[in-house]
Amino acid sequence: MTAASEPLLRVEGLQVHFPIKRGVFVDRTVGHVRAVDGVDLAIDRGTTYGLVGESGCGKSTLGRAVLRLVEPTAGRVLFDGTDVASLRGEPLRHMRQRMQMVFQDPLGSLDPRQNVESLLSEPLRAHGLGGGTAGIADKIRGLLDAVGLPSAALRRYPHEFSGGQRQRIGIARAISLEPDLLIADEPVSALDVSVQAQVVSLLEELQERLGLTYLVIAHDLAVVRHISDVVGVMYLGSLVEQAPAEALYDEPLHPYTRALMSAVPVPDPVVEERRERILLAGDLPSPANPPSGCRFHTRCPWRQETRCDDEVPVLRELAGHTAGPHQPRHSADPHPSRHLVGCHWAEEIRDGVLQPKSAEEVAATQGVSVRATGADGGFETDALLQGVDEPIERR
């Protein structure tokens, strides 16, 4: 048995590198895509960890490695105190039952030839849950009710539903096996903004009712803001900042987080009018060939002549920031109550001692063009375009 105070999920030094193969007759490995490159995080029971970052920074790969759908190159995933790599056979099957995934595109993850009844009963039968046919029928009605769909939905097929309703079916399927951990990978990115909020509140409601623990992945800081207890910001395979959600939104410390945050519209029109948008130079560099030192140095408005280009910053707590009730054991301890940032100059940036360069100045030193933060969608790029002459490419 593990102590209830132990995080449900602990990820330690996780790396996932994909080989790049070339060759006509014999495949040769010519390099590696460092999709996840050394991530530590912990998620307490019944809480939500929001993982954000631009498209391609490694979020989905991290989620897949937790579920053991891809093999880590290095590091460990501890679920309820057990190293998932050590499991085989029945214990592995049981562990997989306790971790479920909700996908971005429910149409792609739901078999179009099965009606809802069959989609929801399949996992129950496969795991021998729900009792006999009558028990399963009861259970399915309960699931539909839990996700706010009428029982008339049972006889219908995925294409007959709206995007939001389909995501409800995906969620019903994910909770049908009574998991402890739900990994929701961009669960609302494919939905209209008006529907996004409904699905997010359904997730919140289910968490409360069922005591679920969530890892919610999104490329949009606005999406995870209200649902997350802790937010981790990822850039090119690594976390650059992690903090309790309120602390992160009140005082983002990493230049990349600040840039992401500056792209989120504020409801208050007066504050919105004064919102300073931080534009970034260039595209996300390739994870096959990441920049040296601080990986963000090619785009960072605060980059300094010393340290930034050649010294890798570690995630650390800043001087003058309180650690809360948790006493850190070592600098790499990713306990959720700590505000951690991976920037050499975070104190000077926080205190206003260092001033940012404009995106045009950064772009000129790197020989690239300016583009909007997180321009793969989700961020309000139109507002960001104001005052920028260069065309901004959408990835």
Quick one: tokens of 70? 């891809």
Instruction: Give the angle 34-83-16 at the CA atoms, nearest 5°.
Output: 5
Beta-carbon count within 10 A of 132 CB: 7
Give the dihedral sign, CA 61/310/10/185: negative
For the bound state, the minimum distance from the C-beta of residue 262 to Mg ion, rounded and expressed in Å, comes to 23
Task: Kindly tell me which residue out of 60, 100, 165, 373 binds ligand ADP, with binding defined by CB under 6 A.
Answer: 60
- When asked if residue 290 is in the footprint of ligand ADP (CB under 6 A), the reply is no
- When asked if residue 294 is in the footprint of ligand SF4 (CB under 6 A), the reply is yes
Task: Kindly tell me which residue out of 59, 168, 173, 297 binds ligand ADP, with binding defined by CB under 6 A.
Answer: 59
- Determine the angle formed by the axes of helices 193-210 and 163-175, rounding to 10 degrees: 20
Residue 75 binding: pick among Mg ion, ligand SF4, ligand ADP, none (C-beta 5-8 Å cut-off by kind): none
Cβ proximity to ligand ADP, 16 vs 99, nearer residue? 16
Contact 382, 392 (CB under 8 A): no
- When asked if residue 18 is in the footprint of ligand ADP (CB under 6 A), the reply is yes
Instruction: Give the angle 286-291-297 at the CA atoms, nearest 5°.
Output: 115
Q: For the residues of 252-313, what is the DSSP string, one character each?
A: --SHHHHHHHHTS--SSHHHHHHPPP--EESPPPPTTSPPSSSTTTTT-TT--SSSTTTSPP
- When asked if residue 303 is in the footprint of ligand SF4 (CB under 6 A), the reply is yes
- When asked if residue 60 is in the footprint of Mg ion (CB under 5 A), the reply is yes
Of 57, 66, 40, 83, the C-alpha closest to 314 is 40
Name the one range near ligand SF4 by CB under 6 A: 125-133, 192-200, 245-253, 294-302: 294-302
For the bound state, the minimum distance from the C-beta of residue 286 to ligand ADP, rounded and expressed in Å, comes to 7
- When asked if residue 299 is in the footprint of ligand ADP (CB under 6 A), the reply is no
Phi, psi (5° rounding) for residue 368? -130, 180
- When asked if residue 47 is in the footprint of ligand ADP (CB under 6 A), the reply is no
Structural element, H or E, at residue 92: helix 89-98
Binding residue count for ligand SF4, defined by CB under 6 A? 13
Task: Kindly tell me which residue out of 130, 252, 285, 313 binds ligand SF4, with binding defined by CB under 6 A.
Answer: 313
- When asked if residue 374 is in the footprint of ligand ADP (CB under 6 A), the reply is no
- When asked if residue 255 is in the footprint of ligand SF4 (CB under 6 A), the reply is yes
Residue 235 binding: pick among ligand SF4, ligand ADP, Mg ion, none (C-beta 5-8 Å cut-off by kind): none
- When asked if residue 344 is in the footprint of ligand SF4 (CB under 6 A), the reply is yes
Name the one range near Mg ion by CB under 5 A: 58-66, 241-249, 264-272, 337-345: 58-66
Quick one: tokens of 315? 């995630």
Between the alpha carbon of residue 215 and those of residues 29, 59, 177, 379, the distances in Å are 33, 10, 17, 21
Task: Kindly tell me which residue out of 219, 297, 316, 350 binds ligand SF4, with binding defined by CB under 6 A.
Answer: 297
Name the one range near ligand ADP by CB under 6 A: 7-15, 56-64, 255-263, 335-343: 56-64
Angstrom distance (rounded) from CA 139 to CA 168: 16
- When asked if residue 33 is in the footprint of ligand ADP (CB under 6 A), the reply is yes
Cβ proximity to Mg ion, 47 vs 60, nearer residue? 60
Cβ proximity to ligand ADP, 235 vs 345, nearer residue? 235
- When asked if residue 218 is in the footprint of ligand ADP (CB under 6 A), the reply is no
For the bound state, the minimum distance from the C-beta of residue 240 to ligand SF4, rounded and expressed in Å, comes to 7
DSSP strand pairing (48-52 vs 230-235) = parallel
- When asked if residue 120 is in the footprint of ligand SF4 (CB under 6 A), the reply is no
Cβ proximity to ligand ADP, 37 vs 380, nearer residue? 37
Angstrom distance (rounded) from CA 364 to CA 109: 44
Cβ proximity to Mg ion, 219 vs 350, nearer residue? 219
- When asked if residue 345 is in the footprint of ligand SF4 (CB under 6 A), the reply is yes
For the bound state, the minimum distance from the C-beta of residue 59 to ligand SF4, rounded and expressed in Å, comes to 19
Residues that bind ligand ADP in the complex, under the rule CB under 6 A: 18, 33, 35, 53, 55-61, 287
